[in-house]
Structure 1
């Protein structure tokens, strides 16, 4: 029973940390990750918030993943995107409304902290092994359908999101490159450390 609580904590708290990391990369103003840039761009074009678009895009990806894999939609992933979307809006609209980081040094510092926090949260939420973010689901779906390595599938996914973000005027810049290339190695570093500390199978 104790393991269930640890998994739930890892899942919810991890997603909260992910949302905070995403928020910092957006507030830095140097360019967000490809999918986040897409959501920000869409929010500027519509009356919907960034968090709303996290949910909308997530639903679309759940459907696309289902079509690609010819399987039933993973509706449990709705829980993940709902939590993530609402947390992102909490940080952006309530905690940091109209916040703008000025000065390249502070912008870069905010961005780098955001990337580390994002990777930390992702490593934690994945420990629960509950419901993946649909973006990660797309990566695995592309891997299986195209028969390519996971990094190739991830690259295809990111490039697609980047093209869409560019089309809708999302924030693309040096920060986008940093997020894209740093997030994987950071998760790889954090994951085994959280796995050891949150060893819910052993409790």
Structure 2
């Protein structure tokens, strides 16, 4: 029971960090991550909030992932995309509704901090096999099917979505390029120590 609560905390805190990092990148106005640039472009051109598009695209990815695995769609993943979408809207519309970063130093700080927080957030919530984000579930599936590392798999996915986001008018910038090639290695860097920390505290007797 204790271990379940610990892993649940990794899951929830990871999603909170992930949404915060995404929001910081968007607000830095130096380029959002490929997926987030796509969500922003869809929000601005079609309507609905960024979080709503996280949900809509997530449902499509759940179906794609099930086809790749030739199994039943992981509808539990809807819980994760609902949480991520709601948390992104919480940060953007609730916490920072009128925030505008004008100083270049602040914008660079928000960009770098956002990328690091995203990498850490993904590594935290991946400690739970429950209801993974369809984007990261697809990453894990492709890694399993190809035998490539998490870093390579994530980078290939990010580059593919980057091209799509560019053509539909997403907020592409230097931040987009950095996160495209950095997020995979960051997950690879954070994941082992986070896993080690989780395993250590899960073995602690109370």
Do the two structures share a fold, i.e. TM-score over 0.5? Answer: yes
Work out whether residues 138 and 157 of structure 1, in 8 Å CA contact, stay in contact via their aligned partners in 2. Answer: no
Compute the displacement of 1:180 (Å): 1.6
Counterpart of 2:148 in structure 1 is 149
What's the RMSD between the two structures over aligned residues?
1.8
Q: Which is further off, 182-191 or 19-28?
A: 182-191
Alignment of 1:29-108 (within 5 A): 29-108=29-108
TM-score by length of 2: 0.89
Q: Structure 1 unaligned segments of length 5 or more: list them.
A: none
**SS at 2:126's partner residue?**
helix
Q: CA deviation at 1:104?
A: 2.3
Tell me if the contact between 1:81 and 1:133 (Cα under 8 Å) persists in the aligned partners. Answer: yes
Instruction: State whether residues 31 and 37 of structure 1, in contact with CA within 8 Å, keep that contact through their aligned partners in structure 2.
Output: yes
Q: Does 1:194 align with 2:173?
A: no
CA distance in 2, matches of 1:70, 1:49: 32
Q: 1 CA distance for matches of 2:170 and 2:39?
A: 7
Describe the shift of the 1:188–1:149 C-alpha distance in structure 2 as closer, same or farther (beyond 3 A).
closer
- In structure 1, distance between residues paired with 2:36 and 2:10: 22
Structure 2 residue 3 is matched with structure 1 residue 3: yes
Counterpart CA distance in 2 for 1:121 and 1:102 is 26
**CA distance 1:184–1:168, change in 2 (3 Å):** same
How many residue pairs match? The answer is 202
Alpha-carbon deviations, 1:95-145, whole Å to 9, x = none? 001322113222111100111111121111112232221112223444556
1:81 CA displacement = 0.8
- The 3-state SS of whatever aligns with 1:56 is helix
CA distance in 1, matches of 2:58, 2:9: 22
Q: Give 1:93 shift.
A: 0.4
Return the alpha-carbon distance in structure 1 between the equivalents of residues 80 and 173 of structure 2.
Answer: 27
Shifted more, 177-186 versus 46-55: the winner is 177-186
Is this contact kept in 2: 1:34–1:158, CA < 8 A?
Answer: yes
Change (3 A) 1:98 1:170: farther
Change (3 A) 1:152 1:113: closer
Q: Equivalent residue for 2:119?
A: 119
Q: What is residue 26 of structure 2 aligned with on the other side?
A: 26
